[in-house]
Amino acid sequence: MGVIVGKNTRAIVQGITGTQGSFHTRLMLNYGTEIKAGVTPGRGGQQVCGVPVYDTVEEAAKVQDVDASIIFVPARFAANAAFESIENGLKTVVVVTEHIPVKESIQIIARAKRRGTTVVGPNTPGIIVPGECKLGIMPGHIFQQGVVGVASRSGTLTYEIAAGLTSAGLGQSTCIGLGGDPIVALGFVDTLKMFRDDKQTKAVVLIGEIGGNLEELAADFVSTEGYEKPVVSFIAGRTAPSGKRMGHAGAIIMGKAGTAKGKIEAFKQAGVDVAEKPGDVAKILIERLRK
Amino acid sequence: MRLHEYEAKEILSRYEIRIPEGGLATSLSRVREIATELHPPLMVKAQVLVSGRGKAGGILFANSPSEAETVAKRLLGAEIKASKVRFLLVEEKLSVKRELYFGVTVDRSNQCYVAMASSTGGMEIEEVAVAMPEKIIRFLIHPLDGFHSHDAVEIARKLGYSNGPRLKLAAILGKLYQVAMDYDGELVEMNPLVETVSGDFVAADARLIVDNNALYRHPELEKRLREQRTEASVLEMKARQKGLAYVKLEGNVGVIGNGAGLVMATLDTIQLHGGKPANFLDVGGGASMAKVAAALDIVFSDPEVSTIFVNILGGITRCDEVAKGILMKRKRSGFVKPIVIRLVGTNEEEGRRVLREAGVPVMDSMEDAAEKAVELAIRRG
């Protein structure tokens, strides 16, 4: 059992007929994810990897028993795609699409809150419960079932750290990509709460980066509420200059706000371990779990 | 995308927000022409996209058209914080009764827009936030409710205004919010918004940063960003054209990787080993060999770079494609500088085979590879 998704998740792929959509549908099916339907307006009646395609989410949800969606729709149309899934009552919506304007992301998140939908992203590699469900674009073979909950603002860096955990014999309960945008639906505090309540999760890894204050909020949460499971973090961007966007739209230091230094200090003060290098995360975690 | 002051002011004035009398000049004769039609005292403001322009000497004063020309001469073509001055805004200096701050920006942790106001106009709002946070009025705009005139009136009241002036101010704040929405503003601010001695409210300085992801809705701005040479270096321009995320830094170890987080962590690791990264370059997910070769072109052509570190962890990116891109670059112009390659992940066996057969060594640990790259860079000096 993972958080947000699991072996009972039955998903729709929005934008299934596109290059990314069809490619990752195949990989998700290979991983064992139950993909029940695809949606691309105007392509209803077709099939992709044996998955039936519908024109709208409404139609797909009428015919198929589904509770989640993953979106590969181009940025200009992605917000509408998300609204469609939210308004049709899906429980989980994973927005992989990058470059969605902030104005739309704000609307997606507000509408999801109103309807009680959990949104992951935007600009996320998705979410994986190793061995059960992969609703995302991450390479599945890196991950292994286990007890570490991972939440991250970055894709490849998550793979780097997860691969390190796996080869150290530390499997993962769930890995959640929060997304690289300035505005994302889930923060570290949300995921800390989920992992706290999840029985399988025995330890948590938070992978942060410069920009915004999700890490500071998490540090604040840990120090005010306390956290029984060990938490280890890594923050990327110690060498990043102020005022420059480092690849991700959300990875930008504004004046003196959002620096790696500030985040590292906040975590340390809250008693959260901070790894110096990605490879150190597994080492620290093994020590913490031994205690 | 950050707009120049004059562009931001043009937009505000289209929304009927008052801006000082003045005009834009690119030559001294034009400065004089504009100044002749204005009432002194005057301000001559360098149009450069750097913060702290005033302190860096980018804003000068003049009491006559000829004096305006004299100070303009000092500014035009000069460099303010490494940014060349090509345009000057010549304006009437306002007679200030009070300086306010008004802004609308994105609140990342509350996932909404926020309207901000303060009676400390003229200071950087970030500094005010640190030194006297109580001076800033923050109103979170609920995305499903929007921003209403009532909200604006309340903000004006908290600034100490009543009756007519309060409504006048509230209307300006409402318009500023409209600008933020219509132009996909990450930040729109008037700092200061001046209350003049005669009781008008005038945007003495304005800043507008447009969400790059929304530029498709603003083709005129998108076009300018593509052509804009003032704020980006040649390498940055080249990278932008190739769809690569590139940031020039000050060291000598050139870095190429896939994924923003991984590349940032690579830069950090280089520094931990005593090296200095020369750049950030993210080829993105699923890069083609042509894109990898283009990335190598950019980093190789940077004269400051003495060693190159390629760090790839293939997810959607395929290692064989990266390997072919590396060889494509070598065939085109050779490796004139040492290169350290770390290549793991999707199709790793094929990628390594291709490189091995071509005599290019490959490593598999990011940390070992970073250490080696730093060592080579130090040896080359």
Check whether residue A152 and residue A93 sit in a common domain: no
Residue B58's Cβ-side half-sphere holds a number of Cα atoms within 13 Å equal to 25
Check whether residue A82 and residue A149 sit in a common domain: no
Check whether residue A21 and residue A91 sit in a common domain: yes
Task: Tell me the per-residue pLDDT of A10-19, one tens digit each, with 9 for 90 and over.
Answer: 999 999 999 9
Q: Is the model more confident about B346 or about A9? A: A9
For chain B, give every domain's residue range. 21-92, 96-221, 233-380
Alpha-carbon span B192 to B42, nearest angstrom: 17
Lowest mean pLDDT among A187-196, B12-21, B164-173, B310-319: B310-319
Task: Tell me the per-residue pLDDT of B206-219, one tens digit each, with 9 for 90 and over.
Answer: 999 999 999 999 99
| DSSP notation for B285-339 | TT--HHHHHHHHHHHHT-TT--EEEEEEEESSS-HHHHHHHHHHHHHHH---S-E
Residues 172-211 of A with CB under 8 A from B: 180, 182-183, 185, 187, 207, 209-211
The confidence score (pLDDT) of residue B156 equals 97
Which CATH number fits the domain B96-221, given the four candidates 1.20.1260.10, 3.40.640.10, 3.30.470.20, 3.10.20.30? 3.30.470.20
Task: Tell me the per-residue pLDDT of B123-154, one tens digit each, with 9 for 90 and over.
Answer: 888 788 888 888 999 999 999 999 999 999 99
Annotated catalytic residue, options B69, B99, B189, B195: B189
Lowest mean pLDDT among B176-190, B225-239, B280-294, B367-381: B225-239
In a domain, A126, yes or no: no
A248 in Cβ contact with B259 (< 8 Å): no
DSSP state at residue B378: H
Does the structure show a pLDDT above 90 at B98? yes
A198 in Cβ contact with A174 (< 8 Å): yes
- CB B265 to CB A278 under 8 A? yes
Does the structure show a pLDDT above 80 at B253? yes
A165 in Cβ contact with A285 (< 8 Å): yes
- Looking at beta carbons, which residues of chain B come within 8 Å of A138? 315
- Test the B interface: residue of A160, A234, A248 with most B CBs within 10 Å: A160
Does the structure show a pLDDT above 60 at B231? no
Check whether residue A286 and residue A161 sit in a common domain: yes
The residue written with tokens 């069809």 in the block is A22
Does the structure show a pLDDT above 80 at B38? yes
As a whole number, the mean pLDDT across chain A is 96
Q: B21-92 — its CATH code?
A: 3.30.1490.20
The confidence score (pLDDT) of residue B228 equals 66
Partner residues linked to B141 by β-bridges: B113
Q: How far is CA B254 from CA A244, B208, B230, B290, B373, in A?
A: 17, 33, 24, 19, 9
Q: How far is CA B176 from CA B98, B117, B170, in A?
A: 19, 12, 10
CATH of the domain at A48: 3.40.50.720
The residue written with tokens 């004139």 in the block is B336
In a domain, A91, yes or no: yes
- Looking at beta carbons, which residues of chain A come within 8 Å of B213? 75, 99-102, 249
The confidence score (pLDDT) of residue B163 equals 95
Average pLDDT over every residue of B56-81: 94
Does the structure show a pLDDT above 70 at B230? no
Alpha-carbon span A87 to B58, nearest angstrom: 52
In a domain, A1, yes or no: no
- CB B109 to CB A111 under 8 A? no
Task: For residue B312, report the phi and psi dihedrals to the nearest 5 degrees.
Answer: -120, 125
Check whether residue A25 and residue A84 sit in a common domain: yes
Minimal CA–CA distance to B211: which of A104, A71, A111, A81? Answer: A104
Does the structure show a pLDDT above 80 at B342? yes
Residues 85-124 of B with CB under 8 A from A: 106, 108-109, 111-113, 124
Those residues with Cβ within 8 angstroms of residue A85's Cβ, 6 or more apart along the chain or in another chain: A12, A14, A57, A69, A71, A93, A117
Q: Which domain holds residue A152?
A: 139-290
Residues 238-267 of A with CB under 8 A from B: 238-241, 243-251, 254-257, 260
The confidence score (pLDDT) of residue A71 equals 98
Minimal CA–CA distance to A39: which of A48, A26, A31? Answer: A48
Check whether residue A286 and residue A143 sit in a common domain: yes
Residues 25-44 of A with CB under 8 A from B: none
B246 in Cβ contact with B236 (< 8 Å): yes
Annotated catalytic residue, options B5, B6, B91, B101: B101
The confidence score (pLDDT) of residue A170 equals 97
Residues 279-338 of B with CB under 8 A from A: 280, 282, 285, 313-316
Average pLDDT over every residue of A111-115: 97
Quick one: B233-380 is in which CATH superfamily?
Succinyl-CoA synthetase domains (3.40.50.261)
CB atoms within 10 A of CB B182: 14
CATH of the domain at A205: 3.40.50.261
Task: Tell me the per-residue pLDDT of A125-182, one tens digit each, with 9 for 90 and over.
Answer: 999 999 999 999 999 999 999 999 999 999 999 999 999 999 999 999 999 999 999 9
Does the structure show a pLDDT above 70 at A198? yes
Check whether residue A48 and residue A152 sit in a common domain: no
Å between B347 CA and nearest CA of chain A: 11
Amino acid at B140: L
Å between B74 CA and nearest CA of chain A: 28
In a domain, A162, yes or no: yes
Number of domains in chain A: 2
In a domain, A127, yes or no: no
Question: pLDDT class for B303, splitting at 50, 70, 90?
Answer: very high
Q: What share of chain B is helix, strand, coil (3-state, %, to 5)?
A: 40, 25, 35
Check whether residue A156 and residue A18 sit in a common domain: no
Q: Is B27 exposed, middle or buried (0-12, 13-18, 19+ CB in 10 A)?
A: exposed
Alpha-carbon span B268 to B304, nearest angstrom: 19
Chains A and B form CB pairs within 8 A to the count of: 172
Compare all CA atoms of chain A with the CA of B180 and give the residue at the minimum distance.
A103
- Looking at beta carbons, which residues of chain B come within 8 Å of A255? 51, 124, 126
Where in the sequence numbering do the catalytic residues of A fall?
A: 248
Q: Is B274 on the interface with A (CB under 8 A)?
A: no
Compare all CA atoms of chain B with the CA of A240 and give the residue at the minimum distance.
B264
With a pLDDT cut of 90, the percent of chain A lying above it is: 95
- Looking at beta carbons, which residues of chain B come within 8 Å of A182? 106, 108, 186
Average pLDDT over every residue of B330-343: 93
For residue B381 the two structure tokens come to: 């000096």
Average pLDDT over every residue of B281-299: 94
ipTM associated with this complex: 0.93
The residue written with tokens 């390629």 in the block is B310
Alpha-carbon span B107 to A217, nearest angstrom: 14
Is B189 considered catalytic here? yes
B269 in Cβ contact with B217 (< 8 Å): no
